[in-house]
Structure 1
Amino acid sequence: MLRIVSWSKQRSIYFALGLFAVSPVAFPVVSWAADPPVSTQWGVVNEPQYPGTICTTLTAELQSTQGSLDAVDADGKLTHPDQERLQAAINACTSGAVKLVIGEGTKDAFLTGPLTLKSGVTLWIDKGVTLFASRDPKDYAIVDVGTASDCGTANDSSKKTCKPLIEATETKNSGIVGEGRIDGRGGSLLLSGDNAGKRSWWDVAWQSKQGLKQHAFRLLQINGGADFTLHDITLMNSPNFHVVSDGLDGLLAWGIKILTPSAVYTEPGYACPEGSTPDKLTPATCFTPDTVKNTDGFDPGQSSRVLLAYSYISTGDDHVAIKAGGKKPSTQMTFAHNHFYYGHGLSIGSETNSGVEDISIYDLVMDGFDSPNGNGLRIKSDSSRGGKVSNVIYGDVCMRNTRYPMIFDTHYSDKQGNLLPDFSGVTVRNFKYMGSKAYGGGYLVFRGLQQDGQYLPLGLTLDTVQFEGKQPVILGSPQISANDKPSYANITLGLGPVSFADALKPDSATRFKVTNLMDGMPADDMDCSAAFVPFSTVLEGAPI
């Protein structure tokens, strides 16, 4: 049995650099006591090393105030003063890193609009440095000839209108590393357009609750290519998704932190004053994870050889969303030694039509803080975007304070079509739930598909799954109705015990089948006592 242990990684890096390098200069590769290697489907992966070649070192010329840069660009005159020199340094680098460091005195900030990475180039954001995003929608606008951009607004259009802050297209061996931060400033008031001074990006996103579609930028978009590395970097306060890959072969994310909203836009413990959040006030003056919509943490889509390891995520939507809505399947992905907090789950879907297979999740710690929107392990789709999901293994999971510890649901929405979701070969092994003050044992949703004469049952194995104290309620949808029974599923129990086995009743009317292979032996005591780590112990200034 794997004992779940949490380490607070402390590193001291000693690295002598010149003040400014016009041409690439080779330095010794930085080394430290690395995290233990991770076993994946494609081999053993070691913690990445920092680049040994620095093309250019850029020094910060701006000063943040308590984690904010709003005072610097309040007049709207300099919305991206560092963009040109950052992009020029990236363009001039042929192989190596563009490193951002603290400037004269305590100057610690860069302010930029969209940047484009290139093959062989790594953006290195040093400890104590923050790369802030412009809060002017014009800087991200995708403009058609003769029309204005909708970026920074919410309306009925589904058209993409905002460029990402950082984009990599068909690159090889690129990345973003360093112990610094990238801040999307999602809660800062916009500087131009219809919402100038009236709404932040997150206020615009909240309009989606009124049936509109928000137009906001993503923090990092990786389109195609191979072997992209994220190492140690913190990504925070994105107006929309934080990290998205599409058609990428080889994504290594190691020791990253994703936090939204940060302490700049909230109160300790997310204890916002009554009436200050976007559901009550526009513009909002305080935000919580439940009021920053569509801020997914890590979304690998149509990609392969993806590893997320030793990382920490707390956000307002999916912690992870493995999507497969394009031409390629999503396959060979490993998620190991991670800690998740607020969020909507380690999810597969909702787009699964190009197929998801060979997914391994182990040594996962989840603390949902009793959010009403909190999910744990989740597979979601519907007949408008469904496909085959198979060979998914969750192992050695410690969880608490999560309303829905497991949701495997083929009816994520009421949308209809002929792309039928088919979830099979799903295993949850060595899972321990520590309870919830608000929701007791929480709710489990098991719902396969029967549509137009086709029967595609959920194929799920539960092996050594233990809930302490109050046991979960088993449902057929997230609607929490006593008459809402699990349906169209083949559930296998064992060999290890399942604490709520007695609640899993076969039902011929709903084609809910249960096969009991439990061997009667007691479960090994899975030790979760040291698993739960406050986010503030790994990221200075985190509100939880």
Structure 2
Amino acid sequence: MRRSFTLVDVLLLLALFIDAPWAIRGNSHCQWGNPAVIRPHSVAITEFGAVGDGVTLNTKAFQNAIFYLNSFADKGGAKLFVPAGQWLTGSFDLISHLTLWLDKDAIILGSTNSDDWPVIDSLPSYGRGRELPGRRHKSLIYGRNLTDVIITGDNGTIDGQGSIWWNWFRNETLDYTRPHLVELMNTTGVVISNLTFLNSPFWTIHPVYCSQVIVQNVTILAPLDSPNTDGIDPDSSDDVCIEDCYISTGDDIIAIKSGWDEYGTSYARPSKNITIRGLVGQTTSAGIAIGSEMSGGVSEVHAENLTFYNSTTGIRIKTAPGRGGYVRNIYISNMSLTDVKTAIRFTGQYGDHPDESYDPKALPLIERITIDDVTGQNVKYAGLLEGLEGDTFLDICLSNINLSVTSKSPWNCSYIQGYSEAVSPEICEPLRETIIPDHYSGCYYPSHHLQSSSNETEVLDCLGKFMVA
């Protein structure tokens, strides 16, 4: 007896196979790393003379402990345990195959003496310090050219005590660009989890030229008026997962970057394959920003389950003539906004330049940006979408957007091309062509590919037999 199968039958069968263990989902890179990995060697910072009174400077103790643990890097790695207490320190470097573990009542305090934050070279993709020409201060916790680094604990705290740096910035008395709280360079296999980060002098967590990075279940806090205290800034990095974080800072909650003008173009390392999910926060800037330093390119960014409140902007793309580079294949979905001034903002004329050597004719390519499933209450503007004359932002797709907007002019669009579906309030003229049925292929949607294997062939053969049965 022959049975006819409907399309529904086939889709159900495909769903079963997609849930099979050999199926690879688009977010599989989020599974890298294990903060609970057991290191065969462990020491406490107190074994190296550290005193957790919040007054004694423990920089040498951290440096000596990590120097000692480096002898175990090729023997399964090591763990540095920071017990309860307030551990004042200047900058110190991590090593490969290291777990830095903070007890729940442990607080690492950044020194308020700038001499305890050494001055190092500028990043090659920036050409100079981000704030001032020349070099920059090293981050409190720093590492470069490493493999397998874990910074975690039982919700301990890393406090940069950044207010003194913010005052120096406001008073224009800095000699060098301010330091980050955590920076890892040229590092593969990073896990940062289960910690609270407070009061960074500058950007809080900065993976730059890194691969396989997880930032998970962290809280990042700084006053809303603190300058440039970004939460997490993946920079010229790939295969990055950020999930289940709460961030309240004075600048972008997440800022994806890839170098600055001609230096970023020359260094040519993009940020790509970045997943963000389960993010909650507030800011005087954007919930998720791309740029404005994006000259090395940004692509394949997937963000979902986002909640932003009491903020200036939900999603923002920032760029400028002279940047070059590209931002493409961006998918953002399931975003909730409350008391946000502008839900979506694209800015084609944003930011300064490192020097006068940039090429003003180096125009950025912005294309295939999809934003889907957005709700908002007490939003002033639905969208301020401003491309560049002679450099139209292409294939901007907005769908299933429902915003309660207070402005009488909810959308302002220029040099923008794209499509929309089910958007309220009514979208601006350049985006009124509908996505379905004619323009779906012009929009970017992440795909879930089956792993190429003999099993895949078996599935296709099986489906073929069902279709003719």
Answer yes or no: same fold by TM over 0.5. Answer: yes
Q: Which runs of 5+ in 2 are unaligned?
A: 1-23, 122-128, 354-358, 438-469
Paired residue total: 388
Amino acid across the alignment from 1:442:
Y
Q: Say which of 146, 152, 177 aligns to 1:171.
A: 146
Tell me: CA distance 1:156–1:162, structure 2 relative to 1, closer, same or farther (3 Å).
closer
Query: What is residue 488 of structure 1 aligned with on the other side?
Result: 415
Deviations 1:434-487 (A, max 9, x none): 22xxxx43352101122xxx3333431111001136467445xxxxxxxxx421
Summarize the alignment of residues 296-335 of structure 1 with structure 2, pairs less than 5 Å apart.
Answer: 296-325=230-259, 326=264, 327-335=268-276
Q: Say which of 127, 135, 143 aligns to 2:104.
A: 127
Q: Say which of 289, 310, 314 aligns to 1:376.
A: 314
Query: What is residue 228 of structure 2 aligned with on the other side?
Result: 294
SS of equivalent to 1:53? coil
Tell me: CA distance 1:384–1:136, structure 2 relative to 1, closer, same or farther (3 Å).
same
Distance 1:101 1:213 in 2: 32
Distance 1:143 1:298 in 2: 21
Deviations 1:162-191 (A, max 9, x none): 11111111111112111211111112xxxx
Distance 2:131 2:350 in 1: 22
Distance 1:156 1:423 in 2: 26
Summarize the alignment of residues 247-396 of structure 1 with structure 2, pairs less than 5 Å apart.
Answer: 247-260=209-222, 288-290=223-225, 292-325=226-259, 326=264, 327-345=268-286, 346-367=288-309, 369=310, 374-396=312-334
SS of equivalent to 1:91? helix
Q: Is the aligned partner of 1:113 residue 2:113? A: no
Query: What is residue 363 of structure 2 aligned with on the other side?
Result: 420
Query: What is residue 372 of structure 2 aligned with on the other side?
Result: 429
SS of equivalent to 1:127? coil
How far off its partner does 1:347 sit?
0.6
Tell me: CA distance 1:362–1:323, structure 2 relative to 1, closer, same or farther (3 Å).
same
Tell me: CA distance 1:444–1:337, structure 2 relative to 1, closer, same or farther (3 Å).
same
Tell me: CA distance 1:431–1:419, structure 2 relative to 1, closer, same or farther (3 Å).
same
Tell me: CA distance 1:166–1:414, structure 2 relative to 1, closer, same or farther (3 Å).
closer
Q: Is the aligned partner of 1:498 residue 2:397? A: no
Deviations 1:312-337 (A, max 9, x none): 11111111111112311111000011
Distance 2:249 2:111 in 1: 21
Query: What is residue 202 of structure 2 aligned with on the other side?
Result: 240
Amino acid across the alignment from 2:31:
V
1:318 and 1:347 in contact (8 A); partners too:
yes
Higher relative contact order by CA 8 Å / sep ≥ 6: 1 or 2? Answer: 2
Query: What is residue 460 of structure 1 aligned with on the other side?
Result: 396
How far off its partner does 1:431 sit?
0.5
1:155 and 1:214 in contact (8 A); partners too:
no
2:45 and 2:65 in contact (8 A); partners too:
no
TM-score, normalised to structure 1, is 0.66
Query: What is residue 37 of structure 2 aligned with on the other side?
Result: 51
Amino acid across the alignment from 2:384:
V
Amino acid across the alignment from 1:333:
I
Distance 1:47 1:119 in 2: 14
How far off its partner does 1:50 sit?
1.0
2:300 and 2:328 in contact (8 A); partners too:
yes
Deviations 1:123-177 (A, max 9, x none): 1112111111121111223289xxxxxxxxx999421231111111111111211
1:155 and 1:213 in contact (8 A); partners too:
no
Tell me: CA distance 1:318–1:492, structure 2 relative to 1, closer, same or farther (3 Å).
same
SS of equivalent to 2:399? strand
Tell me: CA distance 1:90–1:418, structure 2 relative to 1, closer, same or farther (3 Å).
farther
2:29 and 2:241 in contact (8 A); partners too:
no
How far off its partner does 1:420 sit?
0.9
Distance 2:145 2:383 in 1: 40
SS of equivalent to 1:466? strand
Summarize the alignment of residues 30-69 of structure 1 with structure 2, pairs less than 5 Å apart.
Answer: 40-43=26-29, 45=31, 48-58=34-44, 62-63=51-52, 69=54
Distance 1:157 1:455 in 2: 30
Q: Which runs of 5+ in 1 are unaligned?
A: 1-37, 145-153, 188-199, 261-287, 476-484, 507-511, 520-544
2:181 and 2:204 in contact (8 A); partners too:
yes
Query: What is residue 180 of structure 1 aligned with on the other side?
Result: 156
48-57 or 80-89, which deviates more: 80-89
Tell me: CA distance 1:409–1:176, structure 2 relative to 1, closer, same or farther (3 Å).
same
2:106 and 2:156 in contact (8 A); partners too:
yes
How far off its partner does 1:59 sit?
5.2
